[in-house]
Structure 1
Amino acid sequence: MVLRFVAVVVCCLSAWVVQADEGMWMLGNLNKQTRRAMKELGLQMPADKLYSSRRPSLKDAVVSFGGFCSGVVVSEDGLVFTNHHCGFSSVQQHSSVEHDYLKDGFVARNRSEELPNPELYVRFLLRTENVTKRVLGAVKPEMTEPERSGAVDSVMFAISEEVARKDSTLVGIVDAYYGGNEFWLSVYRDYNDVRLVFAPPSSVGKFGWDTDNWVWPRHTGDFCVFRIYAGKNNRPADYSPENVPYRPEYVAPISLDGYKEGSFCMTLGYPGSTERYLSSFGIEEMMNNGNQAQIDVRGIKQAIWKREMDRRDSIRIKYASKYDESSNYWKNSIGVNRAIRKLHVLEKKRAMERELRRWIQQTPGEREKLLRLFPDLELDYKNTREANRALAYFAESFLNGPELIQLALSILNFDFEGERKTVEANLKAIVEKYANLDLEIDKEVFTAMVKEYRSKVDSTYLPEFYGTIATRYGGNDKAYADSLYAASELTTPRGLKRFLERDTTYNIYDDPAINLGIDLIGKMFEINMQTRESAMNIARNERLLNAAVRRMYSSRNFYPDANSTMRLSFGTVCGYTPFDGAEYDYYTTTKGILEKVKTHAGDVDFEVQPELLSLFSNRDFGRYAGEKGEMNVCFISNNDITGGNSGSAMFNARGELLGLAFDGNWEAMSSDILYEPKMQRCIGVDVRYILFMIEKYGKAGDLIRELKIVSGK
């Protein structure tokens, strides 16, 4: 126990020694200080083996998966490991009551059985380049904020276009860093033929469901396996039976040696967004408007969905993916607001801002430029508070609420003049939305959303249809919803079909759902216009604040906020103390699965098929067992991650795969705003558990033989 306590203390103090755990670092811009910190923690690879634009390196095995997750290439034939929840919508699309891959899992016994997913792509990073001078060269001191934004956007677009003109298989994207004070070009190559190869049953991939989501200790086998296919010369190609498995530049080796407390661990992936430099006023805005709207509105919507999903398998399959996505961010918002209060994040931010105010006052050059920075930020956030609250509840209640409204808005905004491929993909997305829609459920959601929005905003923010409900329907929301759903042609694909075929007997603008959509668009535009000037002022002053912080603490090693570009985080495998009197170990085993099944008997979140329970009880773990003969399931490190990191590769000091990141922990949910070194942990699924499930449960030995497995045992 004493040794374990010492290890935990060493782990937690590492942030103060080399600041090793905090930071999402740009691989193409690792400075000497960061490289030194990695080596001091135990990294055994040179920097050019992590990232190189000229020769294969570890970054070439890491992909952006679908633009919303991460993944890692693990075989010479293009196998990709990512999270189960990242592949969940693909598994759902291929599922039916007869072939319930969500419940039973999926295994392709040969290449011909691998299932295509036209909406999916994987993105490889080829190189990055600092283009700050070129972008900001277009900015003039006399420009207003809208003029500055327009000039910056024009140059960013031009740089991106140059990449595609030189090579049509490449994608160039210029992203803003440090609040718009720096700009970097990332050059990618996308592969669009991505096929499902293996998915565990949801009792493994989603074990614990909402109950365990964002919580440690965790026992979720959150993994899925896909394969990338390519056309001639290993180049990107749309799906075709003629395509062949992609031959990667670099394949991540897989380690069976596991980890110990204090082992070096690094995570490579595509984190979505963080707001570490955001002002305290911005944090309050996030808490009270955006997060609270998600908490209130999604809780109502999800309760309706879940009730019907539990009643019928057909509805469970239809609604599984959208429920999963919605509930993930719903619980995240709950956790973020809770952690902000519990960890006193606002107080810490305000203390830093007081230091900054003093520095500005005491530094003549800064005082001249920034004297009004904080008063202006406070005033502009105050001026937009109510309108932004209305926009947050508007988005959740209507834009992300009833699917009839989403369909109407999709049709209203449809671009028939775009590229044929894009038009076809957008039409397919609309048709799939119909396939996963139950009208009675959606009508109940619509009625609940109308009521919830009315109760949360000032009457000046109500769209015109609320007046119709009051006058024509006597204030009866349900009666209005019944009439709307009965009269609209868009409740089935028939209305869309009539519109696409130019049916002269059908004027789509007479459809009540389309009229409602126009009403909503008009109101949203009106509210947005109320915030436009203040929003521009806020963007400018948050950018100035970001730059001022870096000048004041010029000796510190700063990293930019996450922005969906490839990032490296590093630290150590270690447990933590969530509250007084409790210690959490750094890994879990299948023993915990058996214990949770027994403890939560009758709870569908913890139901596991008998054959799986038998597999765990038999303890035939073979070469995948840990040191004590147990089957490790999950582990934690102090690597710095956020949304988008799901599916990220977790590597050891030699660049060998240890597992896949899939979650953060409940006690540090405010980490997107402020890193808490003693609390924040990255939860990963152990790669040995992944291989065990593929081989022992899936009987997919051919997949195991594709992998580059290493072990020093």
Structure 2
Amino acid sequence: MMTTYSKLSIVALFLSVFTFAQQGGGMWIPTELNEQEMKEMGMNISAKDIFDPSQPSIKDAIAHFGGGCTSEVISPKGLLLTNHHCGFGQIQSHSTVENNYLEDGFWAESFEKELPNPGLDATFIVDIREVTDKVLQGVSSTDSEVARNGRIKDNIDIITANTVKESYQDVMIKPFYKGNKYYLFITETYKDVRLVGTPPSSIGKFGSDTDNWMWPRHTGDFAVFRIYADKNNKPAEYSKDNVPYTPKHYLPVNVGGINEGDFTFVFGFPGMTDEYLPASSIEQITTKLNPAKIEIRENALKIIDGYMKSDPQIKIQYASKYARVANYYKKWIGENQGLAKSNAIAKKKAYEADFNERVRKACMTEKSKRCVEYPSLVSDLDKLNGMIEPYNFASDYFDETIYRNSETFRVALLLNNVLALEKKEGFDAYYNRIEGYLDGLFKDYNAMVDKEVSLALWDMYKENMPKEFQPKDVNITADDIKNSVIVKSLAKDTKKTFSNKASFLKALKSDALVAKIGKVKDSYENNVTKNQSQLQAQINNKMRTYMKAQLEFMDDTKFFPDANSTLRVTYGKVNGYEPSDAVYYAPTSTLKGVMEKYVPGDYEFDAPAKLIELYNNKDYGDYAQDGEIPVNFLATNHTTGGNSGSPALDADGNLIGLNFDRVWEGTMSDYNYDPEICRNIMVDARYILFIIDKYANAQRLIDEMTLVK
């Protein structure tokens, strides 16, 4: 029998799902945890055990790794654990054809043999304080965006200057809830972080791009570093006189195992989410922006992959770059699928209908400014999103074809900046900075590979970038690239080329590629950037008001702040999931699965001989569960980029795993967290210990740790 539902019933159905999803997720500021809810879910410790600025707590073991990932201290001697992919750049930089740590792994036999990494740092959060009233002091709702931002900046400068801190500490103030709240962070950054150990890529990247974002997963995605400090245990630049850092707190490692339904929480630095966007924004992302970016990266990856498979030197050069490009390519595909599967747009529209109805009812009798602003918020945002769409598309297209995926074009853009600053103040400092950047970039640059990528992307730019945003009569050829100073001089010897400033600048001015990319850049900035910025400022203003309105009217929804690379806690339970009808995935994988996927000599699914031997002999030490070595597991924690390397902790605050990914269908959690399908993927701590102990024979590292059951 077919049942007929009213529109109101459908709205209520979608709304109930949306509300449930919101309650299931969350990236919470650690000073504002719902301790009662966490304990009801199984946590045994207190919120103070997690974050306490006045005495050691778990937060003292959590460090922002290199500004983009998370890491955690796991020994009293500053041993630092993070993902293999987070340390990939450092591992690659120490690798050569003769000593290929990507292929063979690396394990320092002593403190003296641990490898320094210039530019790599680890930042701890010392304290978090809300400073909303101080930041917004003197700010009026009638201020223009420019005036508002100027006043806020002045207030932040004053607050920062007057914050009491140690000389080696820094202050950071960031907006939350679209600028409706502000929090201050006191930080300590350690600048001497050394590579201690890494498994080979056949373990740390097992499954590579095929398995990326997928489940079941069998990846030992971890690497071990160590923080060094001066003799007073304070932050210091690299020095041979530095000593291993003594942390305020380090994480014990639980070797007792996990089971489905166990409570777990993840502590880290998630990068970016946008959970409160209107439906029109989600629609633009899924139908216009993501498909364009996916197509561009697919073409670039196809070319790079062909070269990597045919040349071992190129494979080393491009390993990190390929992984970086492929990461978001695949993420955007899964994001679109997840948003469609979870009916995100329909749920958002139902939520907006409910919001509008609540505002309408309240404003029937209330006469206030908010009753002038709030009723049209959603429709205003829809209109603005329609206006900004062509500029967002052009921005993404320029970014993906000219800046991100062609190193040759990116260098040409930077060299245009060099010419623009030639006779201006600050030129020498910029010139020197660009020299250092390019010297590093060209270490892993291959002119042949990048020429083919660049020309393919240029063809896409010419075909798909709206004509009104393109420069007239500009076409980039293979000869332009071949004869450019970028390939002929810079790629061969950056320092020598930069050393003769007058000659180099003269060469730039007659370089056809640099001139053509300059015209592309000028056309983009003149026709896209200004209009996009103006519209985005209006959207930001409306979104700030919309966020404020939601907080006022949607009082039955739990609002957590969007991720912004600040320290957060998310909690959930170990759980499997059903990605589609009649398909169920268990929440754990084992070494048996590695062997089932194993393909000798394969780029993605090869396995080291010693790992195979350990498996065949069942030589598992103390790390097995039910006769198998656990490898990865799933939970309902709400994570995103930046949470890579974050510790997964048990109910008592012990390390049980290392976060490194999400399931493909759940990558849309940046916009729409749904506990039915969103899962984070973690390396089981016992697999990490097994590899360190039984595979690498690095017992000295095991001896540093505190193992508990």
How does the TM-score come out when normalised to structure 2?
Answer: 0.92
Distance in 2 separating the partners of 1:458 and 1:412: 23
Moved more, 544-553 or 76-85: 544-553
Letter in 2 for 1:668: G
Could you tell me how far 1:81 is from its partner in structure 2?
0.6
Could you tell me how far 1:151 is from its partner in structure 2?
2.1
Superposed CA offset, 1:208-228 (max 9, x none): 111111111111001000000
Go from structure 1 to structure 2 and tell me whether the alpha carbon gap of 1:505 and 1:403 turns closer, same or farther (over 3 Å shift).
closer
Distance in 2 separating the partners of 1:549 and 1:497: 58
Query: 1:672 is matched with which residue?
Result: 670
Could you tell me how far 1:485 is from its partner in structure 2?
6.5
Q: Is 2:398 the counterpart of 1:394?
A: yes
Alignment of 1:176-575 (within 5 A): 176-364=175-363, 365=368, 366-413=370-417, 427-464=435-472, 467-469=473-475, 477-484=477-484, 489-494=489-494, 497-504=496-503, 506-507=505-506, 508-526=508-526, 527-575=528-576
Go from structure 1 to structure 2 and tell me whether the alpha carbon gap of 1:301 and 1:15 turns closer, same or farther (over 3 Å shift).
closer
Could you tell me how far 1:149 is from its partner in structure 2?
2.3
Distance in 2 separating the partners of 1:535 and 1:460: 20
Moved more, 338-347 or 551-560: 551-560
Q: Is 2:129 the counterpart of 1:129?
A: yes
Q: Which of 5, 21, 25 lines up with 1:22 in the alignment?
A: 25
Superposed CA offset, 1:381-432 (max 9, x none): 1112112211110000011122122223345557998899999776433211
Could you tell me how far 1:490 is from its partner in structure 2?
3.6
Letter in 2 for 1:683: I
Go from structure 1 to structure 2 and tell me whether the alpha carbon gap of 1:161 and 1:408 turns closer, same or farther (over 3 Å shift).
farther
Distance in 1 separating the partners of 2:514 and 2:153: 33
Q: Is the contact between residue 275 and residue 672 of structure 2 (CA under 8 Å) also seen in structure 1? A: yes
Query: 2:5 is matched with which residue?
Result: none
Alignment of 1:13-92 (within 5 A): 21-30=24-33, 34-92=34-92
Distance in 1 separating the partners of 2:273 and 2:486: 44
Q: Which of 613, 628, 651 lines up with 2:649 in the alignment?
A: 651
Moved more, 36-45 or 575-584: 575-584
SS at match of 1:86: coil
Q: Is the contact between residue 128 and residue 184 of structure 1 (CA under 8 Å) also seen in structure 2? A: yes
Could you tell me how far 1:271 is from its partner in structure 2?
0.5
Go from structure 1 to structure 2 and tell me whether the alpha carbon gap of 1:486 and 1:76 turns closer, same or farther (over 3 Å shift).
closer
Superposed CA offset, 1:233-290 (max 9, x none): 1111111111111111101111111111111111101111111111112222333444
Superposed CA offset, 1:116-145 (max 9, x none): 111211110000111111111131232112
Distance in 2 separating the partners of 1:354 and 1:443: 51
Go from structure 1 to structure 2 and tell me whether the alpha carbon gap of 1:150 and 1:692 turns closer, same or farther (over 3 Å shift).
same
Go from structure 1 to structure 2 and tell me whether the alpha carbon gap of 1:544 and 1:506 turns closer, same or farther (over 3 Å shift).
closer
Q: Is the contact between residue 693 and residue 699 of structure 2 (CA under 8 Å) also seen in structure 1? A: yes
Distance in 1 separating the partners of 2:428 and 2:614: 49
Query: 2:588 is matched with which residue?
Result: 587
Q: Which of 682, 689, 695 lines up with 2:687 in the alignment?
A: 689
Go from structure 1 to structure 2 and tell me whether the alpha carbon gap of 1:139 and 1:346 turns closer, same or farther (over 3 Å shift).
same
Distance in 2 separating the partners of 1:15 and 1:108: 50
Distance in 1 separating the partners of 2:266 and 2:30: 11
Moved more, 293-302 or 252-261: 293-302
Q: Is the contact between residue 131 and residue 185 of structure 1 (CA under 8 Å) also seen in structure 2? A: yes
Could you tell me how far 1:446 is from its partner in structure 2?
1.3
Go from structure 1 to structure 2 and tell me whether the alpha carbon gap of 1:43 and 1:327 turns closer, same or farther (over 3 Å shift).
same
SS at match of 1:173: strand
Distance in 2 separating the partners of 1:14 and 1:468: 51
Query: 2:10 is matched with which residue?
Result: none
Go from structure 1 to structure 2 and tell me whether the alpha carbon gap of 1:264 and 1:132 turns closer, same or farther (over 3 Å shift).
same
Moved more, 614-623 or 406-415: 406-415
Distance in 1 separating the partners of 2:69 and 2:108: 23
Distance in 1 separating the partners of 2:522 and 2:360: 45
Q: Is the contact between residue 404 and residue 513 of structure 1 (CA under 8 Å) also seen in structure 2? A: no
Letter in 1 for 2:585: Y
Unaligned runs of 5+ in 1: 1-12, 470-475
Could you tell me how far 1:684 is from its partner in structure 2?
0.4
Query: 1:116 is matched with which residue?
Result: 116
Distance in 2 separating the partners of 1:76 and 1:412: 49
Could you tell me how far 1:188 is from its partner in structure 2?
0.7
Moved more, 320-329 or 419-428: 419-428
Query: 1:8 is matched with which residue?
Result: none
Letter in 2 for 1:228: I
Query: 1:6 is matched with which residue?
Result: none
Q: Is the contact between residue 20 and residue 38 of structure 1 (CA under 8 Å) also seen in structure 2? A: no
Letter in 2 for 1:252: L
Q: Is the contact between residue 443 and residue 485 of structure 1 (CA under 8 Å) also seen in structure 2? A: no
Query: 2:3 is matched with which residue?
Result: none
SS at match of 2:81: strand
Letter in 1 for 2:451: K
SS at match of 2:86: helix
Could you tell me how far 1:622 is from its partner in structure 2?
1.5
Structural RMSD (CA)? 2.5
Could you tell me how far 1:86 is from its partner in structure 2?
0.5
Distance in 1 separating the partners of 2:589 and 2:293: 31
Unaligned runs of 5+ in 2: 1-15
Could you tell me how far 1:15 is from its partner in structure 2?
11
Go from structure 1 to structure 2 and tell me whether the alpha carbon gap of 1:566 and 1:424 turns closer, same or farther (over 3 Å shift).
farther
Go from structure 1 to structure 2 and tell me whether the alpha carbon gap of 1:327 and 1:18 turns closer, same or farther (over 3 Å shift).
closer
Q: Is the contact between residue 21 and residue 572 of structure 1 (CA under 8 Å) also seen in structure 2? A: no
Letter in 1 for 2:590: T
Aligned-residue sequence identity (percent) comes to 36
Go from structure 1 to structure 2 and tell me whether the alpha carbon gap of 1:185 and 1:481 turns closer, same or farther (over 3 Å shift).
same
Distance in 2 separating the partners of 1:458 and 1:322: 28
Q: Aligned pair count?
A: 683
Q: Is the contact between residue 485 and residue 511 of structure 2 (CA under 8 Å) also seen in structure 1? A: no
SS at match of 2:87: helix
Distance in 2 separating the partners of 1:384 and 1:580: 38
Could you tell me how far 1:613 is from its partner in structure 2?
1.3
Superposed CA offset, 1:598-624 (max 9, x none): xx5664211112222112221111111
Query: 2:105 is matched with which residue?
Result: 105
Q: Is the contact between residue 22 and residue 559 of structure 2 (CA under 8 Å) also seen in structure 1? A: no
Q: Is the contact between residue 255 and residue 656 of structure 1 (CA under 8 Å) also seen in structure 2? A: yes
SS at match of 2:562: coil
Letter in 1 for 2:140: K
Q: Is the contact between residue 265 and residue 570 of structure 1 (CA under 8 Å) also seen in structure 2? A: yes
Q: Is the contact between residue 498 and residue 506 of structure 1 (CA under 8 Å) also seen in structure 2? A: no
Could you tell me how far 1:532 is from its partner in structure 2?
2.8
Query: 1:3 is matched with which residue?
Result: none
Go from structure 1 to structure 2 and tell me whether the alpha carbon gap of 1:513 and 1:159 turns closer, same or farther (over 3 Å shift).
farther
Distance in 1 separating the partners of 2:574 and 2:430: 44
SS at match of 2:558: coil
Letter in 2 for 1:347: A
SS at match of 2:501: coil
Q: Is the contact between residue 578 and residue 679 of structure 1 (CA under 8 Å) also seen in structure 2? A: yes
Q: Is the contact between residue 293 and residue 396 of structure 1 (CA under 8 Å) also seen in structure 2? A: no
Distance in 2 separating the partners of 1:653 and 1:421: 51
Distance in 2 separating the partners of 1:511 and 1:482: 11
Moved more, 631-640 or 424-433: 424-433
Letter in 2 for 1:295: I
SS at match of 1:220: coil
Could you tell me how far 1:457 is from its partner in structure 2?
1.8
Query: 1:155 is matched with which residue?
Result: 155
Distance in 2 separating the partners of 1:616 and 1:602: 18
Could you tell me how far 1:232 is from its partner in structure 2?
3.1
Moved more, 656-665 or 503-512: 503-512
